[in-house]
Homo-oligomer: A and B are copies of this chain.
Amino acid sequence: MKWTELHTESCPVARGLSVIGDRWTMLVIRECFLGVRRFDQMQARLGITRHVLADRLRKLEADGVLRRDAYQDRPLRHEYRLTEKGKALHPILVTLIDWANQNVPTEATPMITLLSRDTERPIRPRLVDEETGAPITHLSVTAKLAE
């Protein structure tokens, strides 16, 4: 399994990571979900080098996760927005946030947590099967070859 050929793997974990498995990529996605759309703003907020940021944005656009829209001509300027495919990454971000809050301690206060936009109350995510509503755990669900 070579990193450069990961996207052709049959394993969905490998294919997924070929898009978002990079060191910085999910942090760029986080910025997009927070509404950050411009190059310089992302660069300042993340502390990523401009070179690497330009490369990641190019790749994410090529993979259909971000869309590059012009917001002015003269000089021509673009902003980056999540596509539907990019918005579909939300559950990954949410489960990652929950895992880190439960398992990677920090002294930083106040902590950043998940909140309902409506009620402003904290959210604790849980995975269930869409069809049956049964909870999904590592004991109840596994990944296998489907016929």
Which of A's residues lie within 8 Å of B, judged by CB? 1-3, 7-23, 26-27, 30, 33-34, 46-48, 64, 85, 87-104, 106, 108, 110-118, 122-131, 134, 136-147
Alpha-carbon gap, A64 to B100, bound state (A):
13
B12 touches A112 (CB 8 A): yes
Copy total for this chain = 2
A143 touches B129 (CB 8 A): no
Alpha-carbon gap, A26 to B140, bound state (A):
20
A to B CB contacts below 8 Å, 15 in the list? A2-B47, A10-B108, A11-B30, A12-B111, A13-B27, A16-B99, A88-B99, A90-B136, A90-B137, A91-B125, A112-B146, A113-B146, A115-B142, A116-B129, A116-B141
